[in-house]
Amino acid sequence: MGVLDYIWLGVLAVFQGPEIGLLGLALPVTPVMILGGFLLGIMVGATPGLAGPMAMAISLPILISTFGFNPDALLPVFGFLIGVMKGATVGGAVPAVLFNTPGTPDAFMTTLDGYPMTQRGQAKKALRVAHFSSASGDTFSDLVLIICAPFLAVLVEAYLDLPEKTALLILSLAFIASVIGGSVGKGLIATGLGLLAAYVGTGEDFYPRLSLGTEALAQGFPITTAVLGVLILGEVFKGLDDLWTERLTNQRYEGAAAHGDQTLSRGDLKRIFPFIGRSALIGTAIGALPGVGSTLAATLGYTVGRARHAKTRTDDTPAFGDGAMEGVAATEAANSSVSGANLIPVLSLGIPGNAAAVFLILAAESIGGFNPGPSVFKFSTDSVNPELVIAFGIFTAMFIANALNWTIGGVFMRSMGIMIRIPKHILLPSVLLLTLTAIYVQETRLSAIWFAIGFGVLGYVMRRLGISPLPFVIAFILGSNLEETARQAFAATGGDPFFLFSSLTASALMLLTLIVIVFSLRPKKEPTLT
């Protein structure tokens, strides 16, 4: 079978998969789930205090309990999660533009020019710029994903053996620990804690490791409790603590009256298109690197765009920071182009790059039948590779989400300003209850709830100490794969204790790991935004 045959099978898997009855019609369930996830993602992104990963975390156990643990559930679940991921990126611009409050961390830079446009009575135009830029950047990164992920996977499978793959995993963990958070030391601490938690109750010995003789620990920590606890419950606990100390204040929004043309003219598109192109390239390049998130992409896109705009702008156009539509375009194109590129390391290497990708990996591990990594892109001529069909089904789902973004995304996005008015003292306890319910739905044992709360406390402490929880989560997910690959490499090299240096490629990867850590230890200059 050729590439075109697999592409066609992936499309058919989306549109001819399981069906759902809706208004008397039998519709394929995957496109319906993509639509539902996309609309939910916009609402979540438009609500400060929530984010796409939070909605994905709550939804995943419910989706699995609904569709079951069979391969037919993969594309509907993936479709919903992809819809949430893309919708949340778009929705984060709504409160940033209307209320000077970023719905997601990567939308902070949008406030610098989006809110001044609102104060001038150009809120609808700012939202249109944000939507057009976001959809453009997202579409570009998806195209790069489809081209690069199979190519990278084929290279890895052809040239990397077990020692090299082990060294690559170590390099990925070192890179993630070094680039996320304020310091390399904190990143390494989070990574070490993640590996420690992953190895509780595991191993090949007769007695489970680190179980302290207890039956609950002997079974290990369920991946759902660790991921949702550290990422979601930790954030909820921190938010509740902030509310307790700051005391919630209700602020009324006094919107400026609409003034001037609110549409995007051909001249406007001509002005913003170069900024969209540059930021899309920046966001895609950053998104392809594991652990480098959309916040950095938005910052770099805005900084590069501002430098270019300062050289070319005329006296009758506002500068960056004073309500320039180019600033909104540069930021939104950069942070949206990360979403597709972040799946390049996921699908080609099995390495999650950000929090949203973590839940796609988690869905694959929970349901089974799809193991992200180089083996996915094996083109078999004798028989059909079902994992490759799923991969092209994921690509199809991403393009469906893009089509929804281009068609109905802008209209739905501009109607979500009401979400800012939800009080956090109601929102956060609701998220806490939904998360614990979702965990129990999947694990169905009380010990899982206690584990989740314990990991939530850990996540809260890490945030208070300025330690990012993402290296912990990624290390927890990759821990078992790292140990299994290392064991196989050790056996394949005849028990060589220096198997990580048994080839030139493995040695180069280990040297690169050391260079990444040492280079990241250098003092960083604080970027100036004025």
Q: Which tens digits make up the pLDDT trace of 168-190?
A: 888 888 887 876 656 778 888 88
**25 sits in which H/E element:** strand 25-28
Which pLDDT score is estimated for 252?
Answer: 47
Q: How far apart are CA 235 and CA 374, in angstroms?
A: 33
Q: How far apart are CA 100 and CA 108, in angstroms?
A: 9
Q: Which tens digits make up the pLDDT trace of 201-210?
A: 765 556 677 7
Question: Average per-residue pLDDT in the chain?
Answer: 81
The predicted model gives 489-500 an average pLDDT of 87
Longest dimension (CA), the chain: 76
Which pLDDT score is estimated for 82?
Answer: 92
Q: How far apart are CA 138 and CA 70, in angstroms?
A: 30
Whole-number percent of the chain with pLDDT over 70 = 88
DSSP E strands: which ranges in 428-479?
Answer: none
Three state DSSP letters for 337-396: HHHHHCHHHHHHHCCCCCHHHHHHHHHHHHHCCCCCCHHHHCCCCCCCCHHHHHHHHHHH
Residue 356 is encoded by which pair of tokens?
A: 């949203």
Q: Which tens digits make up the pLDDT trace of 231-273?
A: 888 888 888 888 787 665 444 444 455 555 667 778 878 888 8
Q: Helix %, strand %, coil % for the chain, to 5?
A: 75, 0, 25
Q: How far apart are CA 489 and CA 287, in angstroms?
A: 30
The predicted model gives 121-144 an average pLDDT of 88
Question: Are 349 and 152 spatial neighbours (Cβ–Cβ below 8 Å)?
Answer: yes
Task: Classify the C-alpha dihedral 72-75-81-84 as positive or negative.
Answer: negative
pTM as predicted = 0.80
Residue 53 is encoded by which pair of tokens?
A: 């990963």
Q: How far apart are CA 251 and CA 100, in angstroms?
A: 12
pLDDT band at 38 (very low <50, low <70, confident <90, very high): very high
Residue 445 DSSP symbol: S
Which pLDDT score is estimated for 528?
Answer: 47
Taking alpha carbons only, the member of 136, 159, 156 closest to residue 148 is 156
pLDDT band at 460 (very low <50, low <70, confident <90, very high): very high
Helix ranges restricted to H, 288-341: 294-312, 325-341
Residue 184 to residues 175, 181, 264, 285: CA-CA distances in angstroms?
9, 8, 44, 22
Residue 272 to residues 83, 125, 289, 380, 393: CA-CA distances in angstroms?
26, 13, 26, 44, 33
End-to-end CA, the chain = 56
438-468 b/e with 16+ CB inside 10 Å = b? bbbebbeeebbbebbbbbbebbbebbeeebb
The predicted model gives 465-492 an average pLDDT of 85
pLDDT band at 310 (very low <50, low <70, confident <90, very high): confident
Q: Is the model's pLDDT at 290 over the cut of 60?
A: yes
Q: How far apart are CA 341 and CA 144, in angstroms?
A: 7
Q: Hey, how many other C-beta atoms are within 10 angstroms of the C-beta on 432? A: 18
Bridge partners (DSSP) of residue 21 are 26
Bridge partners (DSSP) of residue 22 are 25
Residue 351 is encoded by which pair of tokens?
A: 């390495």
Half-sphere exposure of 441 (CA within 13 A, CB side): 18
Q: Which tens digits make up the pLDDT trace of 498-530?
A: 888 888 988 998 998 888 888 877 665 554 444
Which of 136-140, 174-178, 395-399, 456-460 is predicted least confidently?
Answer: 174-178
Q: Is the model's pLDDT at 300 over the cut of 90?
A: no
pLDDT band at 36 (very low <50, low <70, confident <90, very high): very high
Q: How far apart are CA 237 and CA 493, in angstroms?
A: 47
Residue 341 is encoded by which pair of tokens?
A: 């590129």
Three state DSSP letters for 79-118: HHHHHHHHHHHHHCHHHHHHHCCCCCHHHHHHHHHHHHHH
Name 217's Cβ contacts closer than 8 Å, sequence gap at least 6: 200, 201, 208, 210, 211
pLDDT band at 60 (very low <50, low <70, confident <90, very high): confident
Which pLDDT score is estimated for 261?
Answer: 61
Give me the phi and psi of 19, to 5 degrees please. -110, 160
Q: Is the model's pLDDT at 391 over the cut of 50?
A: yes
Q: Is the model's pLDDT at 454 over the cut of 60?
A: yes
To the nearest 10 degrees (0 to 180), the angle between helices 355-367 and 52-67 is 10
What are the counts of helices (DSSP H) followed by strands (DSSP E) for the chain? 23, 2
Which pLDDT score is estimated for 153?
Answer: 79
